[in-house]
């Protein structure tokens, strides 16, 4: 344990190379958006993030959840669903509906996506309607939740633009651009955007959701194999913020008319 602890404390000083795919420690995998992938959705995109691929589709219902009506809460609601398709992993993944219940991991991730998407929206301006952000993983190679959030925002903005063009909304309820990225300590080094080989062996794993460049929505961090200190946390957050700035720019480019 002592050797592992020392490795984490010196995470910034050590630089084992190469990473599995040859990237530098602070380098994102290639990220690409293919918009309007689902024609019946109000807004959609296929986000390709390295070898991870997620379809994000947004649909709108002109009603709000019953609990909002019962509690007299005004405005609208934004929520999410997340699933991994059977062929998204090397070994077939059984559909959760076949098991009769949703996995705890899927519940956790879709709640995270929902919180992230709500951080992007003024619910009062949205009006009494529900926006669903559905994220379906076609191929998983690490970072499916961060890809779902980053792609989910692109699909969300496309949907809002359509609602504006159709006169359903008088003004945009969007207040923040939201992205997410993973960062962690792998083999004693802080690295950005973990792929599956890194994620499965990471000493520390952190997922960071940001609204713009300066506001954190959520930080999920775990010492998978050992503890981590303040200096390592600061290094991870700094690297994550830099990665998020790149993702914000990629989103803006994907959303250009």
Cis peptide before 18 (omega within 30 of 0): yes
Per the structure, how many domains does the chain have?
1
- Show Cβ contacts of residue 143 under 8 Å, excluding neighbours closer than 6 positions: 29, 49, 50, 52, 181, 182, 193, 194, 195, 199
pLDDT at 17: 58
53: domain range?
2-254
In this structure, what CATH number is given to the domain that contains residue 177?
A: 3.30.230.70
- pLDDT 10s digit of each residue in the chain, 257 long? 333 333 333 344 344 457 889 999 999 999 999 999 999 999 999 999 999 999 999 999 999 999 999 999 999 999 999 998 888 988 898 887 767 677 788 899 999 999 999 999 999 999 999 999 999 999 999 999 999 999 999 999 999 999 999 999 999 999 999 999 999 999 999 999 999 999 999 999 999 999 998 999 999 999 988 899 999 999 999 999 999 999 999 999 999 98
Which pLDDT value is given to residue 75? 97
Bridging pattern class, strands 43-49 and 31-35: antiparallel
């Amino acid at each position: 344990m002592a050797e592992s602890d020392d490795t984490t404390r010196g995470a910034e000083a050590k630089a084992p190379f190469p990473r599995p795919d040859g990237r530098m420690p602070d380098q994102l995998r290639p990220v690409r958006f293919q918009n309007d992938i689902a024609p019946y959705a109000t807004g959609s995109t296929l986000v390709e993030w390295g070898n991870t691929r997620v379809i994000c589709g947004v649909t709108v219902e002109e009603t709000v959840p019953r609990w909002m009506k019962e509690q007299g809460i005004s405005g609208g609601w934004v929520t999410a669903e997340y699933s991994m398709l059977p062929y998204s992993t090397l070994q077939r993944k059984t559909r959760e509906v076949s098991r009769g219940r949703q996995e705890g991991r899927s519940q956790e991730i879709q709640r995270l996506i929902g919180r992230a998407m709500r951080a992007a929206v003024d619910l009062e301006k949205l009006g009494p309607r529900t926006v669903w952000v559905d994220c379906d993983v076609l191929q998983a190679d690490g970072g499916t939740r961060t890809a779902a959030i980053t792609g989910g925002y692109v699909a969300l903005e496309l949907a809002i633009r359509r609602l504006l063009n159709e006169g359903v909304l008088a003004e945009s309820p969007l207040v923040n651009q939201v992205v997410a990225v993973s960062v962690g300590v792998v083999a004693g080094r802080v690295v950005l955007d973990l792929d599956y080989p890194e994620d499965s062996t990471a000493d520390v794993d952190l997922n960071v959701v940001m609204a713009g460049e300066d506001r954190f929505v959520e930080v999920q961090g775990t010492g998978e194999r050992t503890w981590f200190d303040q200096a390592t946390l600061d290094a991870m957050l700094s690297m994550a913020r830099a990665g998020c700035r790149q993702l914000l720019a990629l989103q803006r480019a994907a959303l250009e008319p």
